[in-house]
Chains A and B, each alone.
Chain A
Amino acid sequence: MKRLFVFALCWLMFGAWAETETPLKNIEVGTDLPTLERGAETVMTVCTGCHTLKYIRFRELAKLGIAKDKVDAWRGSNPMGATIASQMPADAALAAFGRAPPDLSLIVKAREGEANYIYSYLLGYYTAPDGTTGNHYYSVTRMPDVLSVAGVTDPAQLAQLNQKARDVASFLSWAADPHAQERKSLGYYVIGYLLIFTTMLYFLKGRIWARLDKA
């Protein structure tokens, strides 16, 4: 009886997994400065044409290690403490697309599949037989194919696009969770401390409980 249920459960899970549509492409998110800097370059020069990053200030880009002159070029006359606005006013974007383009500072966390989704989505554009552009991962998307992915077949060019998409996904991962590195490195110390402390408690418990056998 019990086994039957476990089988049923496994079968259900497999069934659910098999029926999902186009599977996402998996990437290793980069956390190194060159990757983040290239990603920031694309985001700041392409994405912010329509999107905002309202939780990220220019100061934080500089603090991340991105060259000061680059940050200065992106912010123009905005102060370092300003958050990243889009070049298109919100009402103009609404008029152009029918929907306000979403803010990008949390977009990685706001999508099932996180960075893999962003990466797959950016590369998911294709040219349909009737000449229109579609996206494998979000069929009703209103965002144009900004990286010009659709129709590209040249392997060298594709590799370049893949890297560009990975850089963007990596930068947006940082933007969604800027304390991730700090959190993980602190986490190793916390877990390490707890392991030592708990091991000591375990032996102490053994010694204290040993008194019972002597009595």
Chain B
Amino acid sequence: MANSIIDWIDQRFPLTHIVKHELTDYPTPRNLSYWWNFGFLAGFVLVLQLVTGIFLAMYYKPDVSMAFDSVQHIMRDINYGWLLRYIHSTGASAFFVVIYIHMARTLYYASYHKPRELMWWTGQALMLMIMATAFMGYLLPWGQMSYWGAQVITNLFGVTPYIGDSIVLWLRGDFSVGDATLTRFFALHYLFPFLIFAVVGIHLVALHTVKSSNPSGISLADKDNIPFHPYFTIKDLFGLGVYLIVFCTFVFFIPGSFIEAANNIPANPLMTPPHIEPEWYFLPFYAILRSIPDMLGGVVAMGLSVVIFAILPFADRSNIPGGARYRPVYRAMFYLFIIDILVLGYVGSKPPSGVLVPIGQVATLIYFATFFLLPFISKWEERWMRARGLSPELIALLEPRPQHDNMTQKGEAA
């Protein structure tokens, strides 16, 4: 019975083929470490945010006079409303933890190299869309930080030459953040996850075309690839279990960790909080914004700091595979960059005063220098490594070998 139903579907839709090609027979490098779990986790968090968000939207009221109260209604009166809301608010932070680790893994192993440039760029697009979604979602509880955060960030667009004021007006729908802003942010906050879903689809189609990268940095021989199912379904599930233990610890025991105290005060346009601070995941970029004394320069630098990752496939000119795994200078740069981001994050969380200002400026300089010096350093590093003599392991990796042509393979299978 079941077979005949599947046959019926297969004559009309390539169900068995898709399951076989993309899951049970999908070749995956055997040597993937647990750092490769985070792509799947990001997908899981996206689904969880979407599902909890839909249920929250059934009770939330996007109206300045009701928004704050409706969140409290969810937290206090709706059955398990507190659970939905805490999963959603913790999930926003968890999303950034997961995608930042996912990106850091790509940086460490230089996985953005040919042929995975489109993976990297669609990933960048996803990051930008997630940032926009998180920013708009943060306005919805209509607390003090929601309001003033949105006020400050939308204000930044005012530096656009000639049309700045019009852009700010267009974003807010009013002369200051208000009911029009809240309703449009709510509409877009509901829309964006579906757009993100579509881009995730593109990200995955690209992934299944070029296949997963792996720690060695080269495409492995057939014998070193294993089917995705059951080997990586079980590995991803185990990773998910570990992730959920950490996530649920936050949700059930310290759910207030990511909700600013000031955001439990209803938005008040007449009272500026003493210290306006974005959510932790924006802090490094916020520190870059404040490190540039000129407003326009700061906004440009902040925008650049987010999108500059896109140049990496060109900026890293080394032919040594495996990124930081085999390249000592690249590895040192990677760690310096991570520490630099942490320093920027710390500077962004404090009022800009005293020694923090020059520290933030130096960290900003290091941030951009990492990208702009990489073309030279990577080339120099390769020469230096070759002059010093490559390890036998690396020489073996660099040997030309018959490469899979994935496109033709796909064509044959079809």
Contact = CB atoms under 8 A, between A and B. Distances in A.
A14 interface: no
A183 interface: yes
A209 B86 CA distance: 36
A53 B121 CA distance: 50
Contacts of B55: none
B227 to A, nearest CB: 10
A183 B81 CA distance: 11
A190 B30 contact: no
The main secondary structure of chain B at its interface with chain A is helix
B8 interface: no
A67 interface: no
Interface stretch (B14-22, B249-257, B305-313, B372-380): B249-257
Interface string A167-190: 000000000101100011011001
A16 B350 CA distance: 9
A205 interface: yes
A45 B252 CA distance: 33
Interface string A34-50: 00000000000000000
A105 B265 CA distance: 11
A187 B253 contact: yes
A2 interface: yes
Contacts, number: 93
A180 B83 CA distance: 11
Nearest to A107: B264
Given A109-B261, A205-B238, A1 B245 contact: no
A202 to B, nearest CB: 6
Contacts of B170: none
The main secondary structure of chain A at its interface with chain B is helix
A201 B234 contact: yes
B238 A8 contact: no
Contact of B231 (A6, A184, A212): A212
B264 A198 contact: no
Given A106-B72, A201-B238, A6 B339 contact: yes
A55 B78 CA distance: 13
A194 B252 CA distance: 13
A30 to B, nearest CB: 18
A10 to B, nearest CB: 11
A195 interface: yes
Contact of B248 (A2, A55, A191, A202): A191
Contacts of A9: 342-343, 346
B252 A208 contact: no
Given A5-B343, A55-B76, A201 B241 contact: yes
A143 interface: no
A148 to B, nearest CB: 28
B153 interface: no
B241 A184 contact: no
A183 B248 contact: no
A86 B72 CA distance: 19
B139 to A, nearest CB: 18
Contact of A8 (B82, B248, B253, B359): B359
Contacts of B226: 212
A191 B251 CA distance: 11
Contacts of A179: 75-76, 82
A148 B390 CA distance: 78
B262 interface: yes
Contacts of A112: 261
A5 to B, nearest CB: 5
A33 interface: no
A110 B264 contact: yes
B231 A1 contact: no
A181 to B, nearest CB: 11
Nearest to A209: B231
B264 A106 contact: yes
A186 B238 contact: no
B261 A187 contact: no
A194 B72 contact: no
A208 B230 CA distance: 7
Contacts of A208: 230-231, 234
Contacts of B237: 201, 205
A92 interface: no
Interface in B205-245: 226, 230-231, 234-235, 237-238, 241-242, 244-245
A198 B230 contact: no
A12 interface: yes
A17 to B, nearest CB: 12
Given A109-B264, A191-B245, A201-B237, A212 B30 contact: yes
A194 B355 CA distance: 45
Given A2-B335, A212-B30, 18 more contacts: A2-B336, A5-B340, A9-B343, A12-B355, A12-B356, A16-B350, A102-B265, A109-B259, A110-B264, A112-B261, A186-B252, A191-B245, A191-B252, A198-B238, A198-B244, A204-B238, A205-B238, A208-B231
19 contacts: A1-B336, A2-B335, A5-B340, A6-B339, A12-B346, A55-B76, A106-B72, A114-B261, A183-B252, A184-B252, A187-B253, A190-B252, A191-B245, A194-B248, A198-B242, A198-B244, A205-B235, A208-B231, A209-B235
